Amino acid sequence: MNKIFKIVLILFFVIVFGAENASAKINMFPKARYIPELSFYGDSGKAYKLKDFKADLLMAVLWSRYCGPCINDMKKLDEFMQKTQDKGIKVILISPEKEFKTADERRNFLKKIGAPHLVSYVDRKSNFINGMGIFVTPAVILVNRNNEEAGQITGGVDWADSDVIEYMLKLKNDVSKQLDKQKSADEQGEK
């Protein structure tokens, strides 16, 4: 039994701390895809959908308070959000509802980990995360201005890094250009 406990403990540390150092993976879709009408909830209990948020690029960050890489990302994600919010990128957080007893507890937790400016929502019964087909956190759903899923990022990211900020601003512009080209092609097809 003692040997099994040691193996489980070693595996736990490998998974938790090994994943923390894993690099992020980005998957941009060749063609943006439909987003299901799935709800998540604000502090007052009001239901929201991704289409309720208007931005050139919406980053819906799925996270958990028990996810080491998620917690490590939050302070830098807060910095990223402050540097990009006036440049067409909006960041929202979505976490499992069961992890926090109250909205105040969730807000206080974000303050404690250095992310007081991030706006957080909850996913009741994991309907949102499961409906989106997300099986790992942290995960970022990238949504274009037409409310379509343009891609996903999984794994930890150094969001405050100037190269990451530059890359995400370029990505936002590329996603917008792709929409403009599609709109132009659609208009040409109508003539």
Q: How many CB atoms lie within 10 A of CB 141?
A: 22
In the prediction, which pLDDT does 50 show?
A: 97
HEC readout, the chain: CHHHHHHHHHHHHHHHHHHHCCCCEEEEEEEEECCCCCCEECCCCCEECHHHCCCCEEEEEECCCCCHHHHHHHHHHHHHHHHHHHHCEEEEEEEEHHHCCCHHHHHHHHHHCCCCCCEEEEEHHHHHHHHCCCCCCCEEEEEECCCCEEEEEECCCCCCCHHHHHHHHHHHHHHHHHHHHHHHHHHHHHC
Q: Which residues pair with 58 in a beta bridge?
A: 90, 143
List, in order of start, the domains of the chain with CATH numbers: 23-190 (3.40.30.10)
In the prediction, which pLDDT does 19 show?
A: 43
CA distance 135 to 139: 9
In the prediction, which pLDDT does 10 show?
A: 44
Residue numbers in the chain where pLDDT is lower than 50: 5-21
pTM (2 decimals)?
A: 0.85
